[in-house]
Structure 1
Amino acid sequence: MTALEYQHVLVARDGDTVRITMNRPDRRNALSGEHLAELLASFQAAGETDATGIVLGARGPVFSAGHDFPTSPRVTCSACGNCSRCAPNSCRLFNRCRRW
């Protein structure tokens, strides 16, 4: 796996495992749009390697505070009526990772 540069995510290969580390400790690893896009891209890149596992970790005192609402557009679940439509890329990504 070639080293990709991300602003909010660290990626490292450790034997047969790819380690993906959320790196926004100042925001308690809250998921902004950019952070989530980087996570999705890093998982996709890891899934395209011969790695047999992926470990997700985080820098800082907490794993993740959840969604970073101050950096996101003002959209509520009532906007679409179906929360699963709000994260289709995440669903597709995790379905692809099930190949292991």
Structure 2
Amino acid sequence: MATMISLPIVSSCSVATCGFNHDGCRAGAINVSGDHAQCSTFVATDDKGGHADQTGVGACMRTSCIHNEDMACTAEAIEVGASFDTADCLTFEARA
């Protein structure tokens, strides 16, 4: 029996050089980590992979983000795009 897990979705990704981004992010789930909230699932390739209709945020190691609770993202949705690095979580907001 399959179990449904509710994850925040990747509502948009503007990183055309990622192999998972073709008509939107097609990875089953992404992880966010690093100094600049990088999408650690980013793969620089011309090959296109992944088949998910909707991508979720599996884990977030940016505990300094207001949307992070116990290393899980609590935002309804996130956007991924270029910021400090090639593929960053643009929804990241530092805690006060």
Q: Which TM-score bucket, shorter chain as reference?
A: under 0.3
Higher share of residues assigned strand: 2
Query: Which protein has greater RCO, CA pairs closer than 8 Å, 6+ apart?
Result: 2
Q: So what's the TM-score if we normalise by structure 2?
A: 0.23
Higher share of residues assigned helix: 1
Structure 1 or 2, whichever has the larger Rg, is 1
